[in-house]
Structure 1
């Protein structure tokens, strides 16, 4: 992320906007969209020198070329956006060359890798989760806006497990933040000496007072008929000495200009643009208590999934503590979750031993219903069967199926099957047309064109039109 940038004044607005690595003779368009629970987005179109085209092409064709936009405020240079270019185009129109850029904040990098993790240590806090994310993402800093918020319990007796399954860290942090009704804020205004901040919760204190000259109260209806009350300010002109606000910032919004009465609002959207050499914003704000965030659902359901784990501890209450093998696990035996052993039938439970490799099967969309199975279900495999059947599936695809009538042992790909009932044993192999049936009165064996039968009175063998019968008194060859 830290690349040597080509710097310099590139476009003379009231704030002296600068673009690292690019020089624009004039800007046709600049739009920067910032919102809670989202990446910052940038759209730029400006006139460039023809002599710079080759250099810009070379720079923009590299992987994730950085884009930093700064502006002057009170004789200081502040970052208004820092991210990476996602697409670009150089076009020739109206006798000039124009460079068009689209970019995202660096937080977009968090969406590229899906992870599998389990959180199972009772009493874990949000700060504990964020520490894990920080260790995995060295270029980012995950935090809560207050220590009190960070000490919110994440793993409790009521919700003893949280599974991150095929889920990026970006989607994961949004999902777990929605559980406590807190916004996720991307701070893309730090210089290159600082990491990219991803924060849960609004900023603590108000930055400044904001006039209501162009503002109005509004309401909209969202999903599940939820009413959202907010304030909207259009064409807010940023002063020469003021900062361009980031989302999550609290402002004292003046409701009565004469009495200077104010209410504290949080910026939840800020769409920034330029017009006539000035920086403007369309800002959406809301009271902190009016910010309602619906629970975010995971993209990939966990119902029917299984993960290998090693049994670390057993309880006489038909429970086990396990350490997961194929997914990241912050296992601490003293705090780890007690998984119930799978109940095969009434009062009949699976019985693993310490050190056994078992399958933790997630029976529903809720992690709380996970249980220990002695089978090894393949991670990607969905287990769907008749409720009366109990099925064990190994990673190689072999199965044992038990119901009230029979026990089935099934080979890989269902090619070979053995069925054991109270008074019957059957075996078949589809590849060789082999069938064996055994009961107390009869043994039958069929192999391709050969058939053999044996009972108390006789043995019969037939193959290719020839037959042999052997009984107590004679041998017949037909």
Structure 2
């Protein structure tokens, strides 16, 4: 359904709007393009609109300017909310670019072929997602060491890849399809559209100097202009429509200053990934990681650094189950430290290799699960569980002794005894 907002603006949306009151749209590097539209909807239509009816439906905003039609936003409806007041209804619609489709499912996989470039990995991800990709950096830069996508969406991982090059990713908001740039979009040369009216901003951490300019002209991220002898690039655009007025706010900087610091996956710190040794060369081993399934992702030789140190150890054999350990948030520092016993590896690790159980001959036991820590010996048990809280149990007496105060704080505390409960002070 096409709705004319004013003499310049038109929106195409399946929601039966009767009027657009206001809107804002934001487009910047490393983020999905987004649109927030507020309008009126016929009362009867609002009553007949189930909450989920228009989710993921297309939404487009176009502008006719100086005889040319320009797309300002083309994406999907991410969310909307209808409010009623008497016999009238208003709706607030949130739109997002189709790159959102790359930001839904979290995945685990490795890229161990060190001959791949950063562009190669981005292409592989885009092809599997059915997304279009324009590459402006990373074509000749090899990854050198394996990269691991761990519980990250494709969008998060591609942003992390780009940050290794000091670059960003840019979502496409013109086609309505999942498409993005790896690196800065190659825009056009535009005339200087500000001279005396602008704000200057300096970031303390990076010392990046940016110019913030308000204009009625339509430009895109990546468009360039020259000001005071500097070539400035647009890297952020905000559109505002209020009370019939349309205004664009642009943020520009020199491209060399629009540098992205390296992004790390903090969840990798201390992580151990289960795998099978495929090859042994000297004191290094190639590992087929479980997260990759049957897909072969190269044969990178990880250093073997056993927990016992280098005084006395044996190299794992081909076919041995091992753990690839991440000592930090940078997976490029990964080493193989643990070789598991073949018989117990599948039961203790396998698909649930994070669920560890250690038991001694005298029935002392420690369970280490992602959400539970349990320590027990015979009738005594201590359980720390994320959802349930803390449980302390014993078949004998439990004593709490302290030199200072003992404090128990909760919404409810129950003390139960079959004979008596005594409190001793002093």
1:355 paired with 2:319, answer yes
Which of 203, 206, 213 is equivalent to 2:188? 206
Deviation at 1:274, TM superposition (A): 1.8
2:18 matched to 1:25?
yes
Q: Distance in 1 between matches of 2:47 and 2:220?
A: 35
Q: Map of 1:282-293 to 2, 5 A cutoff?
A: 282-293=249-260
Name the CA distance, whole Å, in 1 between partners of 2:310 and 2:11.
Answer: 72
Distance in 2 (alpha carbons) for counterparts of 1:213 and 1:25: 40
Match of 1:303 among 245, 256, 269: 269
Q: How many residue pairs are counted as aligned between the two chains? A: 364
Distance 1:395 1:94 in 2: 56
Q: CA deviation at 1:60?
A: 4.5
Moved over 6 A (4+): 408-412
2:386 is aligned to none
Residue 312 (structure 1) aligned with residue 285 (structure 2) = no
Displacement, 1:69? Answer: 2.3
Question: How far apart are 1:100 and its partner, in Å?
Answer: 1.6
What per-residue deviation string (whole Å, max 9, x for no partner) do you get for residues 345-395 of structure 1? Answer: 3332343222222222223333324214212574899xxxxxxxxxxxx76
SS at match of 2:237: strand
In structure 2, C-alpha distance between the alignment counterparts of 1:93 and 1:214, rounded to whole Å: 45
Greater shift, 93-102 or 306-315, is seen at: 93-102
Structure 2 partner of 1:339? 303
Is 2:42 aligned against 1:37?
no
Superposed, 1:63-142 pairs within 5 Å as 63-73=55-65, 77-93=69-85, 96-138=88-130, 140-142=131-133
Output one character per residue of 1:217-247: Cα deviation in whole Å (capped at 9) or x when no partner: 513234xx3212011112x113xxxxx3332
Structure 1 residue runs without a partner (length 5+): 1-6, 239-243, 256-261, 382-393, 401-407, 416-428, 434-478
Aligned to 1:461: none
1:237 aligns with 2:206: no
Cα deviations by residue, 1:68-107 (Å, 9 ceiling, x for unpaired): 2233356665432222323322234486432221222222
Distance apart, 1:11 and its partner CA = 2.2
Could you tell me how far apart the structure 1 residues matched to 2:361 and 2:284 are? Answer: 27
Indicate conservation of the 8 Å contact 2:203/2:209, yes or no: no
Counterparts in 2 of 1:315-334, with a 5 A limit? Answer: 315=281, 317-327=282-292, 331-333=297-299
Residue 373 of structure 1 corresponds to which residue in structure 2? 338
State the TM-score, normalized to the length of structure 2: 0.75
Corresponding residue to 2:153 among 140, 146, 168: 168
Q: 1:43 to 1:366 in 2, by over 3 A?
A: closer
User: Any idea what SS the aligned residue of 1:348 has?
Assistant: coil
Residue 54 (structure 1) shift:
4.3
Give how far 1:309 is off.
Answer: 1.4
User: 1:51, 1:287 → 2: CA distance?
Assistant: 52
TM-score, normalised on structure 1? 0.67
Separation in structure 2 between the aligned mates of residue 65 and residue 167 of structure 1, nearest angstrom: 26
Aligned 8 A contact 1:35 1:270 in 2: yes
User: What is the correspondence of 1:427-446 to structure 2 with a 5 Å cutoff?
Assistant: 430-431=377-378
- In the TM superposition, residue 42 of structure 1 has moved relative to its aligned partner by 1.4
Partner of 1:454: none
Would you tell me which structure has more strand in proportion to its own residues?
1
SS at match of 2:4: coil
Matched residue, 1:389 = none
Summarize the alignment of residues 360-439 of structure 1 with structure 2, pairs less than 5 Å apart: 360-367=324-331, 368-375=333-340, 376=345, 378=349, 397-399=356-358, 413-414=365-366, 430-431=377-378
Moved more, 67-76 or 198-207: 67-76
- Within a 5 Å distance, the mapping from 1:268-287 to structure 2 comes to 268-275=235-242, 277-287=244-254
Report deviation, 1:132: 2.2
CA distance in 1, matches of 2:46, 2:296: 50
> Contact 2:198 / 2:212 at 8 angstroms: preserved in 1?
yes
What is the SS of the residue equivalent to 1:226? coil
